[in-house]
Chain A
Amino acid sequence: MTAASSAEKATRPLMTSAPTPLAYIGERPITRAAFLADVQALAARLPAARAAFNLCQDRYHFAVAFAALLLRGQTSLLPPNRGRTTLAEIASQHPDAHALVDGPDAEIDVPILRVSASGEAGVAASPIPEIPADQTAVLAFSSGSTGAPTAHARSWGALDAVTRQAVACFELQQGPGPVLVGTVPPQHMYGLESTLLYALLGHASVLAERPFYPADVRAALSAHAPAVLVTTPFHLGACLRAGLDWPRPQRILCATAPLPPETAAQAERVFGCRLDEIYGCTEAGAIATRRTTAETDWTAYPGVQVFGTDAGRVRAQGPQHPEPVPLPDHIEARDPHHFRMEGRLADQLNIAGKRASLADLNRRLNAIPGVLDGVFIPPAQAADGAGIARLAALVVAPRRSSAEIQAELAQCMDPLFLPRPLVRVDHLPRSATGKLPRQVLLDLLARHGECA
């Protein structure tokens, strides 16, 4: 008997039994029991498979799809962008995958199931389901520094662990709980953790809509109090520049790129609440936080440790990581619980909060039929104040037009990484060793600008 019970698999509940509604669709609250009824109804319709794309844009639809896949033991595939080539590449790795969608325009060649749940399927009377802790809940994708896209698996137990750490840090583990007003998509690890899992596993509510323009964010904050604004430096900057009067949220959470302390101070002043940044990456998920107006160093989530290695890469490990995870940034560990982020590793790009590997982008450019040689050129520095600095590209492709090359690139990368400008040249100024010195590329780019 003892042996049998110790061999029994550990499980974690699908959600907490918090009194907080699981979600709001507009201003209509959806109870956890009504959500569970939607989840069970969708789970019963899912085809047999090991994995599925969750491409739902509405955050409530995404939540129902995510939970239904968990119930059926299927893994959610979270693609880094919606390019046709990107989706096809991931699909080829998961031959039996289907896709859950709620919009019109997913260009994907797998069986499609539409999600239209709206909290009106009834009220589930069953107890909250338990999910095996070692079940692979999601696969998120990053472009590794080698240039090959890498899948990062998260078990349900790992997602449960990181969410417990975060809700303890951000005071979301009890009480009535705020509405999570998120400008980030749930397919991103940060968006998944902080706009869905805080509600599922803590005391907070998902907001079905995804506010985008500053006026949307203001409307959502006006309709929901208390609220936590979950955003990025890019979106926060846009809200601050919009010059609107803002309702006071309970807190602002910000991630995807470091926020300048001056912007953090301005945000706390304008919104009248504290701002906490989260440090995370696709590889490790969220692992640390800081109140940017008060501290420069990051404090690891409770239970997470950071440590340096011989190779200079800092690794992190918490209960959510089966083994230490190398972090994709240049980091100096102060002690096991504190670190300073000094910058990105040379190959890593971050444009408006989206990460990519330069090697991966170059590989994709050179894989386009008719492109004989080509190279992306990162912007010198993030443009100050307004505007986002973009990549440029020099391409040798005598038989392909710029528009054709742009169209091919758009199928395999986020639009943010499309080159501006894309300049066609006769040949790249490679050195004797085949290298492309940055200054030589910049000179060539500037010369072209003068001729244009």
Chain B
Amino acid sequence: MASQTAFEQEVARLIVDSLNLEDIAPEDIEPEDALFREGLGLDSIDALELALAISRAYGVQIRSDDENNRQIFASLRALSAHIEANRAAS
């Protein structure tokens, strides 16, 4: 099992809290696993909810026409990296 970085732990907590994933512990989210469909089973409603939480917590606005939107939400690791990169840039 790959271990979460400190920032990934923080984002994992945000995912679980903002989506009310009661039966999932933040530390159980595999950093490289898919968040949507076959992984955590998230859907478009969750994507919107998560985008709101990310904008509130980090001031990062997710856009559909962002380079590789699918890539951003691909995994906890990809999402955390996107947030970190865009937070640093602003």
Contacts and interface: CB of A to CB of B under 8 A. Distances in A.
Nearest to B53: A386
Interface of B is mostly: loop
A242 interface: yes
Interface string A381-416: 000001110000000000000000011001000011
A421 B41 contact: no
Contact of A213 (B19, B22, B61): B61
A214 interface: yes
Given A213-B61, A214-B52, 9 more contacts: A209-B64, A209-B65, A214-B61, A216-B63, A216-B65, A407-B38, A415-B43, A416-B43, A452-B23
A386 B44 CA distance: 15
A407 B55 CA distance: 31
Nearest to A418: B41
Interface of B: 18-20, 22-23, 37-38, 41, 43-45, 47-49, 51-52, 55-56, 61-65
Contacts of B22: 421, 449
Contacts of A242: 52, 55
A238 B52 contact: yes
A271 interface: no
Given A421-B23, A452-B23, A214 B43 contact: no
A214 B64 contact: no
B51 A416 contact: no
Contacts of B52: 214, 238, 241-242, 386
A215 interface: yes
A409 B7 CA distance: 34
A213 B52 CA distance: 9
Given A213-B51, A242-B52, A452-B23, A234 B45 contact: yes
Interface in A202-236: 209-216, 219, 234-235
A216 B43 contact: no
A304 interface: no
16 contacts: A209-B64, A210-B64, A212-B44, A213-B48, A213-B61, A214-B51, A214-B52, A215-B51, A215-B55, A216-B63, A238-B48, A243-B55, A386-B18, A387-B49, A415-B37, A418-B43
Contacts of B41: 406, 418
B72 to A, nearest CB: 11
Contacts of A210: 64
B37 A410 contact: yes
A270 interface: no
Nearest to B48: A238
Contacts of A108: none
Nearest to B36: A415
B49 to A, nearest CB: 7
Contact of A212 (B19, B43, B61, B64): B64
A211 B43 contact: no
Contact of B64 (A211, A410, A421, A449): A211
B4 to A, nearest CB: 22
B51 A387 contact: no
Contacts of A215: 51, 55, 61-63
Interface string A241-265: 1110000000000000000000000
Among A213, A421, A449, max chain B CB count under 10 A is at A213
B20 A387 contact: yes
A338 B62 CA distance: 42
A225 B44 CA distance: 28
Given A213-B62, A410-B37, A415 B44 contact: yes
A219 B45 contact: no
Contacts of A243: 55-56
Contacts of A88: none
